[in-house]
Chains A and B, each alone.
Chain A
Amino acid sequence: MSTRKSKVKLLKNMPGVVRASIDPFLVRATNNPERIMFILHRVTGVIIVLYLFLHIYVTSNTIDSARWNSLMEQFGASIVNKIGEFIVAGAVIFHGLNGIRLLLVEFFGVGIGKPEHPKPPYIAPSLRAAQRKAIYIVAVLSVVGWIIAGILIFTGYLELPL
């Protein structure tokens, strides 16, 4: 964008998209759980996309029933599979719940407070509004949902009869 020609070499000081998406200590702003939610949302999103590819690959085996059965016998009940399912379940629960919050905030402007005249202690209205409470609700529901999913997965409740 800059049209200015200059001889000095500028230092590029950008942490980059990967670091900004996974490093919660990149910027240490106080009073900012939104950022943690942002990072979790990205990480869980990546987990879900990876799972999707794996899912497509695995289900593509259903064409051949013999192969499918042997695959299920090998991996269906293995602990690796269960841990994987557990992680994906957590990711989906969090991503879904936080996604609802983000949809409300980003598309309908819900829960970001009203403009105010600044007064001490100068905390921006959107950091005190309903979306902040929604963060705590999302966090609690995600943990509860994840625990339930864990119980279902590890007790074999969800296992398919082979």
Chain B
Amino acid sequence: MVARSKFQELLAATRQPPKEVTIRVKRYDPETGKVWYQDYKVKTFRGMTILDALLQIKEKIDHTIVMRYSCRMGVCGSCGVVVNKKPSLACQTQIAAVASEDKPIVVVEPLYNFPIIRDLVADFGDFFNKHRAIKPYIIRKDPDEVEKGEREFIMDPHDLHEIYEYSLCIMCGLCYSACPVSAGDPLYLGPQALAQAYRFIADVRDEGYEERIKIVDTEHGCHRCHFAATCSAVCPKMVDPASAIQRLRKIVFMKTLGFWKKKKITQIAGPLKEPLRQIEAKYAVENILEGVDPEEQAKREEKIDLEL
């Protein structure tokens, strides 16, 4: 039932959008402190995204509108905005999916729960600081193992599978913007940081779980989450922060009771038992033109005329 609605959402994105849509942008001017909604009429084309529309507005209608974007393909995570009350990546949201002939209007707002610098640009400073706070890197008892990095850590595919989903986060802040707890508590670490805390605690290469658990086991840490799961519902990368936080919480809970111990910590790969197999490169001997010597052919100098 619910899965179907998601399919319908995806299906709608493949349709032709209305010929012309109104993009209603929530704007903010930091110099005067004014907040207002401004409507722009945009001619659409098939496959047009919200970001395309915003760029068209900036290019052709109103140069003063400000937004953030970079990759235009859902990789950099900088174009997060709230489209029709749902935090979304502007570059991954089709106009056809959010506007229809009956309702050719799309409301675009800056991300909730972030301080706004101007128009659609949110200040990610605190958000990134929270991410930094949970130490998002491999910590070893012997730091040289990471810093010198002479050999790799052993990690089998199952170990990777456990954390792979969570490692896909692009730090777009959509989850943070959707979370009802972040909406009331500016100090709450937020789904993104907590999911990353779990991702590193669960990583078999990591030994810094003690310090990380101390950081999340606080008033503004993982216990604040109420499993509204909106973070997972809006995440464009299917990171599923809600489940990561519950797993993290189980770890913290069990550890407090004294029942939790990290199951597996891998070591650095040892020296090679035998040297790597050397393969001698040879020119093809089969399936070549008759009478042609590949060695000869390779030696022949080819003049390539680069000027067209």
Residues in A lying within 8 Å of B, measured CB to CB: 1-2, 4, 8-21, 25-35, 37-38, 41-42, 102, 105-109, 112-113, 115-118, 120-129, 132
Contact = CB atoms under 8 A, between A and B. Distances in A.
Interface string B192-217: 00000000000000000000000000
A143 B229 CA distance: 23
Contact of B126 (A1, A25, A116): A1
Interface in B185-242: 185-187, 225-230, 232-235, 237-240, 242
B261 interface: no
Given A1-B126, A26-B180, A29-B86, 5 more contacts: A1-B187, A13-B116, A33-B2, A34-B242, A118-B238
18 contacts: A2-B129, A13-B112, A20-B181, A27-B112, A27-B234, A31-B6, A32-B228, A35-B233, A38-B226, A38-B227, A115-B164, A121-B10, A122-B238, A123-B6, A124-B232, A124-B235, A126-B242, A126-B246
Nearest to A38: B228
Nearest to A108: B250
B37 interface: no
Nearest to B124: A2
A22 B181 CA distance: 12
A13 B183 CA distance: 9
Sorting the interface of chain B by its residue count into under 10, 10 to 19, 20 to 34 or 35 or more gives 35 or more
Contacts of A117: 161, 164-165
A17 B238 contact: no
B30 A28 contact: no
Contacts of B238: 118, 122-124
Q: What 9 pairs across the A-B complex have the smallest Cβ distances?
A: A17-B184, A10-B115, A126-B243, A20-B183, A124-B240, A34-B229, A20-B180, A38-B228, A11-B116
Contact of A109 (B186, B230, B249): B249
Given A13-B114, A118-B168, A126 B228 contact: no
Contact of B162 (A26, A106, A115): A115
A106 B180 contact: no
Nearest to B161: A115
A10 B123 contact: yes
Contact of A29 (B130, B178, B184, B239): B178
B230 A31 contact: no
A33 B113 CA distance: 21
Contacts of B164: 115, 117
B297 interface: no
A30 B130 CA distance: 27
Interface in B125-173: 125-126, 129-130, 161-166, 168
Contacts of B80: none
Contacts of A126: 229, 232, 240, 242-243, 246
B101 interface: no
Contacts of A9: 30, 33
Contacts of B249: 106-107, 109
Given A32-B229, A34-B230, A109-B246, A19 B126 contact: no
Nearest to B253: A107
A16 B182 CA distance: 9
B229 A127 contact: yes
Contacts of A13: 110-116, 122
